[in-house]
C-alpha cells in the first residue's frame, strides 16, 4: 500500500507476492460491525486494486466467528444527520459494484446485512460450517441495499429472495451452498488458505480476459447499478423514519420503557 492509503485500525489490507489484495475486517469486539472509517478504507483498497498492475484478485475475510455484523448501528443513527449520498457505506457499495478486479469472500461465522450483501458481488464465496447469513433490513425499518433486491432474486429465485429480504430469514452455510450463494463449505482453519489459493489462480490468469469474462458473466451492469441507486433513495428515506430510529435505539439499548 502506498503512503497515501486511507487507513482504518479495523481494516487490515495486505498484498501478497501472488498478486492478491487481502482485505481483512478486524473489529472482533463489535463482531466486525462496519463504521464509516472502515468503509472508507475498504473503498480505497478496492479503487487502488483496480488501478494496480500487480493486483489480480481481492479476498475479503473477517475475524474468527464474525465475517461482519453489518453496518454499525450507532453509525446509522449518527448518519441520519447527513445526506446519505455522502455516506461512506454508499460510496463503498458503489465501488464494490463497479470493481473490475475479481473478488472472493471467505465467510466464517456471522454475516449480517452488508456482511451478506457484499458476498453477492464476489465472484467466488467460501464459507465455514459456522457461517450464518442474514439480511434484517426490513426488521430494522430499512430496505435492502447493495443491489441485493436485483442480485438475490436472480440467484435464488423470487420466493426464496422474498423470504430472505422481506422476512429477514437467516440461512446457514449448507443452505447457502444448496442455493448457489457459496461455492464450497470447508473447515474454518482451511477457509482463508483456500480463498487465497483461488485468488492466486485468478491473479495468474490473463488480466484482460479475466476482467472481460467476469463482466460477461455478471451481465447487465447498468441495471444492477440502477437497482443499487433506487435502493439508496429508499434507504435514505427509511433511515429517517421513526420505525427505523426505534429499531436502532432498541438495539443500542436506549429504547424508552413503553
Which residues make up the interface to ligand COA (CB under 6 A)? 30-31, 33, 69-74, 110, 112-113, 136-137, 140, 251
Name which of 237 and 251 has its Cβ closer to ligand COA. 251
- Residue 229: count of CB within 10 angstroms of its CB: 13
> Quick one: which H or E segment has residue 244?
helix 242-251
Name which of 140 and 181 has its Cβ closer to ligand COA. 140
Smallest separation (angstroms) from ligand COA to the CB of 108: 13
Smallest separation (angstroms) from ligand COA to the CB of 197: 29
Name which of 31 and 43 has its Cβ closer to ligand COA. 31
C-alpha cell at 253: 439499548
Smallest separation (angstroms) from ligand COA to the CB of 28: 9
Report how far residue 126's alpha carbon sits from residue 141's, in angstroms, rounded to the nearest whole number.
Answer: 30
Name which of 72 and 231 has its Cβ closer to ligand COA. 72
Smallest separation (angstroms) from ligand COA to the CB of 196: 26
Smallest separation (angstroms) from ligand COA to the CB of 211: 30
- Point out the residue whose Cβ comes nearest to ligand COA: 113
Name which of 100 and 169 has its Cβ closer to ligand COA. 169
Cα–Cα distance list, 144 to 116, 233, 248 (Å) = 11, 11, 16
Residue 122, helix vs strand vs coil:
coil
DSSP per position, 36-80: HHHHHHHHHHHHHHHH-SS--EEEEE-BTTEEE--B-HHHHHHHT
Smallest separation (angstroms) from ligand COA to the CB of 90: 13
Name which of 48 and 238 has its Cβ closer to ligand COA. 238
232-236: Cβ within 8 A, 24+ apart: 232/84, 232/85, 232/90, 232/93, 232/145, 234/143, 235/84, 235/142, 235/143, 235/145, 236/83, 236/84, 236/85
- Residue 60: count of CB within 10 angstroms of its CB: 27
Contact 125, 82 (CB under 8 A): no
Report how far residue 179's alpha carbon sits from residue 158's, in angstroms, rounded to the nearest whole number.
Answer: 12
Name which of 41 and 203 has its Cβ closer to ligand COA. 41
Smallest separation (angstroms) from ligand COA to the CB of 154: 21
Amino acid at each position: 500500500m502506498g503512503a497515501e492509503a486511507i487507513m482504518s485500525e479495523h481494516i487490515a489490507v495486505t498484498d501478497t507476492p501472488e498478486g492478491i489484495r487481502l482485505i481483512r475486517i478486524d473489529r472482533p469486539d463489535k463482531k466486525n460491525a462496519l463504521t464509516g472509517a472502515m468503509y472508507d478504507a475498504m473503498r480505497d483498497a478496492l479503487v487502488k486494486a483496480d488501478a494496480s498492475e500487480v493486483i489480480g484478485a481481492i479476498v475479503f475475510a473477517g475475524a474468527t466467528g464474525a465475517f461482519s455484523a453489518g453496518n454499525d448501528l450507532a453509525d446509522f443513527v449518527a448518519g441520519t444527520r447527513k445526506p446519505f449520498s455522502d455516506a461512506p457505506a454508499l460510496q463503498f457499495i458503489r465501488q464494490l459494484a463497479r470493481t473490475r478486479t475479481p473478488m472472493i469472500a471467505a465467510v466464517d461465522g456471522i454475516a449480517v446485512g452488508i456482511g451478506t450483501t457484499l458476498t453477492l458481488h464476489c465472484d467466488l464465496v467460501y464459507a465455514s460450517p459456522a457461517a450464518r447469513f442474514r439480511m434484517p433490513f426490513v426488521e430494522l425499518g430499512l430496505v435492502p441495499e447493495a443491489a441485493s433486491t436485483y442480485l438475490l432474486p436472480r440467484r435464488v429465485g423470487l420466493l426464496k429472495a422474498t423470504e430472505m429480504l422481506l422476512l429477514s430469514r437467516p440461512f446457514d452455510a449448507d443452505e447457502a451452498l444448496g442455493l448457489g450463494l457459496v461455492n464450497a463449505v470447508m473447515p474454518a482453519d482451511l477457509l482463508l488458505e483456500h480463498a487465497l489459493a483461488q485468488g492466486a489462480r485468478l491473479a495468474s490468469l490473463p488480466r484482460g480476459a479475466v476482467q472481460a469474462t467476469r463482466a460477461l458473466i455478471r451481465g447487465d451492469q447498468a441495471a444492477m447499478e440502477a437497482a443499487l441507486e433506487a435502493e439508496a433513495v429508499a434507504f435514505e428515506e427509511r433511515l429517517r423514519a421513526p420505525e427505523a430510529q426505534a429499531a436502532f435505539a432498541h438495539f443500542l439499548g436506549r429504547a424508552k420503557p413503553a
